[in-house]
Structures are given as C-alpha cells and as structure tokens.
Amino acid sequence: MSRPDILVPAPMREMILDGLAPHFTLHRLYEAEDRDAMLAAVADRIRGIAISFRPVDKALVDRLPKLEIVANFGVGYDNVDAAYCGTKGVIVTNTPDVLTDEVADTAIALMIMTVRELPAAERWLREGRWKSQGPFPLTRGTLRGRTLGILGLGRIGKAIATRAEAFGMAIHYHNRSRQADVPYTYHPSLVSLAEAVDTLMLVAPGGEETRHMVGERVLEALGPEGVLINIGRGSVVNEAALAAALRQGTILAAGLDVFENEPQVPQALLDLPNAVLLPHVGSASVATRNAMGQLVVDNLVGWFRDGRVLTPVAETPVPAMSPRH
Ligand code: 8YV
C-alpha cells in the first residue's frame, strides 16, 4: 500500500518532518517555486496536513477532496477553521498538556518582569548606569498584595493559578461558565473581573469570539495600578487601545508574549517604557517544542495506522471510523 500523502504548507521543525518521513509522502509546499501549481498537482491525493501557525481555511480544505486530518502544532488552533473541518468530517488535532507547565512558567515570569520592571533594571546594569548613576530606581509596582484575574481558566490558566497562589495572590477568573472544581472567585463578565483585580492575565484562545475583548472599557476597569499580561493570543487585545492606556496611565504596565499580527509589533507599543514585550516564547524550549512536535507525528501516524488520534479538538466529532485506505 502506498504511503498517505501529507501536505506541509509551511516550514516545521526538522524533528517533525523526520518523524513523519518514514510513514508518509511529504509535500513541502513552501519549497515549491510555484505553490499553486504544486498544490494543483497533488491536491487530489492529500489526506493529511501538518501545520504550524499558518491558516488552514475553508478554501484550502475545499481544494483537498481526500483530506481526513489536520494536525496543528500548538494548543491554540485559531489558524485552522476547525468548525468547517468538523462539518466535512475532517479531524483537527492540537498539542495540549505537553506545553502547559512551560507556558505557565513563562506567564509567571512575564508577570514578575512587568510588575518589577526587571528588563529595564537589567538594561540599567548593562548600560553601566549602576556604576555611573547609582541604584536602579525603586519600582512603583510590587506583587505583594496583588489580586490576579485570569481570563480563560483552562489547563494553562489553572497551572498559572496554582503558581500564583504560591506567591500569595488571590485568584479570580472569568470563563463562559463557572468551573465546578476550583476555589477561585468567578465573575460572569470580563469587565467585572477587571474591576475586582489589579493584575489581569489573558490565557484566552484566539478567534472571532475573543477578538478585541480587551479594549478601553476593560482597561479602565483594571485601573491605574493595573497590570495586563497576555500569553494567549494577540487578537484578544485591541493594541491601539492598550498603547493609549499605557501612555495615559489608565493602567500601570503590560507584559505581552503575543501580538495581533506576529511578527509585527506596533511601534506604539515598542515606544512605551511600561510595556515588556516577548517574541511569543511561551512554549519555546527545545524539550517542550519536541514534545509538541512528537504529538503532531503521533496524531498523524495514529490516525493512518490505527484509525485513532490522541488529541482531537472540541469541534472534531469523535472519530468513529477508520481512515479511508
Ligand atoms: C506555539 C502557541 O508557539 O501552542 C500554542 O498555541 O501559541 C505556541 O505554543 C505556536 O503555536 C507555534 O507556532
């Protein structure tokens, strides 16, 4: 039997491609000079897609009549039209769990970096100002006495909450519905969450439902001692409103690991001294990215070998059938 054809629209880590190569015929679209011609030549044979952060939209799905599965590298899958895939019986998988602790660690680090201005303090030392000008100025912000609000208390949100508890923070949260099994204070709206806390951690997924949820109103509710941390998706924040709030002192500071149009970061944010900006490194250690990559491989191999996937997303109907060999 011939090996199933897998489309790789954009570059992926070598370890993923090495893991897939023995089982599949890989079509690396990004290597083609004429991508459209290459896609047209193989479209009828493609049964799976391996993707990282690039769109898999209706148009692409419709071009691939034999498509069975889209394996996404990343727990967030707003790049994939999973609802449409669901209606076509196409499975979508993501990479949950294996990155939870790494992302939660990064979230806490970014929160402390932001509140205590640690990147600026390090620049002060490297620029020789400690020697020439004396100690770094005392920071207005402290973690002591802060209350943390989490938007999106899922797996990663809970791992962040557990860590924040160890720092002595009280925890509140907003989700679409109250979680039965947590001791934290629930708020039925994001505005009421922002009013109740002074540190707001965004762990929400991207997509239309959460687009620009954080704008002027939420930032005003967070208030002048407010700190905003975003580790989920950039699209959740209205970046222009955030830049204005930081400039005007509506909130104290922000720490961002994600942006609306990565890798573009608005100049208005780059110009601000009270924004700590990271290049989407939440899960970016070799060990964690390898574990995520292995899950991409295992989902594809599992489907075509055993008719089973490890981590289907919510929109995917539980695959009852075996692959169409
Ligand atoms: C990855 C992420 O960096 O898992 C996610 O949703 O945002 C990150 O872990 C990203 O998906 C890789 O391209």
ipTM of the complex, rounded to two decimals: 0.95
Q: Stretch 139-154: mean pLDDT, rounded?
A: 98
Note if 233 is an active site residue: yes
Topology alike, domains 5-96+287-306 and 100-277: yes
Percent of the chain with pLDDT over 70: 97
- Helix extents (H) in 167-310: 190-196, 216-222, 239-248, 267-270, 286-306
Question: Which atom number of ligand 1 is nearest to the Cα of residue 72?
Answer: 11
Q: Can you give the pLDDT at residue 222? A: 98
Percent of the chain with pLDDT over 90: 97
Nearest CA to ligand 1 atom 12: 74
Question: Which atom number of ligand 1 is nearest to the Cα of residue 76?
Answer: 6
Which has more confidence, 321 or 77? 77
Q: Can you give the pLDDT at residue 319? A: 59
CA atoms of 299 and 309, how far apart (whole Å): 5
CA atoms of 160 and 148, how far apart (whole Å): 10
Question: Quick one: pLDDT band at residue 320, thresholds 50, 70, 90?
Answer: very low
CA atoms of 110 and 108, how far apart (whole Å): 5
CB 233 within 8 A of CB 205: yes
Task: Give the pocket of ligand 1 (CB within 6 Å).
Answer: 52-53, 73-76, 99, 280, 282-283
Average pLDDT over the chain, rounded to an integer: 96
136 alpha carbon – ligand 1 mean position (Å): 35
Tokens (6 digits) for 113: 């970096």
233 alpha carbon – ligand 1 mean position (Å): 9
Which has more confidence, 141 or 325? 141
Going by C-alpha positions, the residue among 249, 260, 247 that lies closest to residue 202 is 260
Nearest CA to ligand 1 atom 1: 74
Options 3.30.930.10, 3.40.50.720, 3.40.50.10540, 3.40.30.10; CATH of 5-96+287-306? 3.40.50.720
The pTM for the full model equals 0.96
Give the tens place of pLDDT for each residue, 253-272: 999 999 999 999 999 999 99
Map out the domains of the chain as residue ranges: 5-96+287-306, 100-277
Note if 172 is an active site residue: no
Nearest CA to ligand 1 atom 4: 74
Nearest CA to ligand 1 atom 2: 74
Non-local CB neighbours of 316 within 8 Å, separated by 6+ positions: 82, 85, 86, 91, 92, 93
Find the catalytic residue in 233, 239, 260, 289. Answer: 233
Q: What's the CATH fold of domain 100-277?
A: Rossmann fold (3.40.50)
Residue 318 in this model has a pLDDT that exceeds 80: no
Nearest CA to ligand 1 atom 8: 74
Write the DSSP symbol of residue 177: S
Give the tens place of pLDDT for each residue, 89-128: 999 999 999 999 999 999 999 999 999 999 999 999 999 9
Non-local CB neighbours of 246 within 8 Å, separated by 6+ positions: 253, 254, 269, 272, 274, 275
Find the catalytic residue in 178, 262, 305, 308. Answer: 262
Mutate to test the pocket of ligand 1, among 51, 56, 75, 100 (most ligand atoms within 8 A of CB): 75
Bridge pairing between strands 69-72 and 25-28: unpaired
Q: Can you give the pLDDT at residue 2? A: 86
Note if 27 is an active site residue: no
Tokens (6 digits) for 194: 């922002």
Mutate to test the pocket of ligand 1, among 12, 98, 260, 292 (most ligand atoms within 8 A of CB): 292
Give the tens place of pLDDT for each residue, 200-249: 999 999 999 999 999 999 999 999 999 999 999 999 999 999 999 999 99
